Amino acid sequence: MYIRLKTFITYNNILVEAQNGFREGRSAESAILTFLDKIFEALDTKIMTIGIFLDLSKAYDVINHKILLTKLEDYGFRGVVNNWLQSYLTGHKQYVEVKYKGNKDIILDNVKSDLKEIHSGVPQGSILGPVLFLLFINDLTRHILDADVVLFVDDTNILIQAEDENVIQMKINRTMNTLYKWFYTNGLVINTEKSAAMSFHSWQDKNPIKPQIRFNNIDITYTSEIKFLGICLMESLKWEAHIKALWSKLNQSLYMLQSLKYSTSIKLWRSMYFAHFHSYIRYGIIFWGNSGESQKVFKLQKKAIRLMSNVRRNTSCRELFKRWNILNSPLCIYYGNNMLC
């Protein structure tokens, strides 16, 4: 059924352009690239840019089955397919079990609630769950006229831009009102405490604008730094925060690699390196790789290669990278740029 759904969605071009999740040729990095391109283009032309990062509370769990099935029918999933999906979603029951503990945390009994039928939610662990969620929120962007939306599955990010501060405030107000109506109508909830806003600016601008952003009469707080699809994004568009976090993570991985110091298995070394070191370097390197701080990461990578090769600290790594068939950081940047071009 997953293959049939995916084929139908692709053939009929159902998903909106803003969605980057579960699409061939798209990824979290392509979503980041789209987001950053829009910001840099605006800053180059002196256009003010506000980013709003929305946190959807338990998004998969609260999807209304009736609304979802109606949307699926509108997209062309009718007849047998719609009936199958209805059967797949409905008729499930669940209960809550609580362990009753006595003295010294000894479990005395298990207390179970009554069985209740489930009327909302899509299975997160299943292969169909994310696809059904994409179809559920697919019409969101069609209602947003004053902003750009960048989606990666349930990760919902808004960019509002204008040359004038009054205009950008007006666009923010209209966009937030539209978002509230859509989320309320569709039964989804925005966690305003975990949502955040950012006023993007060049590093020379010490006093960026921060227009009020309210969702359901609750202010969304501005932040100077946020975790965005796996990268640490700063309002000044610098990469110190991301590289600092990455450097710390790579140091932990380096410590783990040291535990293999006396292993003679090349396969094990390579497997551990790519899983717990190289994958961290590779992710998002096309964005932060050209910053001055990135040399810290390259130095750690060379340290890891020397450790794996059991050579001295001052040994040249050029031949070692070839021996292990591993790309160094500068080459990762080069190939990463070509892949997303």
Domains and CATH numbers, the chain: 1-63+126-229 (3.30.70), 239-338 (no CATH)
Q: What single-letter amino acid sits at 288?
A: W
- State the pLDDT at residue 89: 80
- State the pLDDT at residue 80: 82
* Residue labelled with tokens 């509370």: 57
The pLDDT tens digits of the residues spanning 136-174 come to 999 999 999 999 999 999 999 999 999 999 999 999 999
- State the pLDDT at residue 186: 96
For the ranges 69-78, 89-98, 180-189, the lowest mean pLDDT is seen at 89-98
Q: Predicted confidence band at 96 (pLDDT cuts at 50, 70, 90)?
A: low
- State the pLDDT at residue 107: 56
HSE-CB for 88 with a 13 A CA cutoff: 17
- State the pLDDT at residue 93: 57
Between the two ends of the chain, the Cα-to-Cα distance in Å is 33
Residue 125 has pLDDT above 90, yes or no: no
Decide: 68 and 136 in contact? Cβ < 8 Å. yes
Averaged over 10-21, what is the pLDDT? Answer: 92
Give me the numbers of helices (H) and strands (E) for the chain, helices first please: 13, 12
User: How many whole angstroms from its chain centre is CA 330?
Assistant: 25
Question: Which comes out higher in pLDDT, residue 71 or 114?
Answer: 71
The mean predicted confidence, pLDDT, of the chain is 88
- State the pLDDT at residue 261: 74
Averaged over 176-192, what is the pLDDT? Answer: 96
Decide: 301 and 281 in contact? Cβ < 8 Å. yes
Q: Predicted confidence band at 108 (pLDDT cuts at 50, 70, 90)?
A: low
- State the pLDDT at residue 109: 62
| Burial grade of 208 (CB within 10 A; 0-12, 13-18, 19 or more) | middle
- State the pLDDT at residue 341: 43
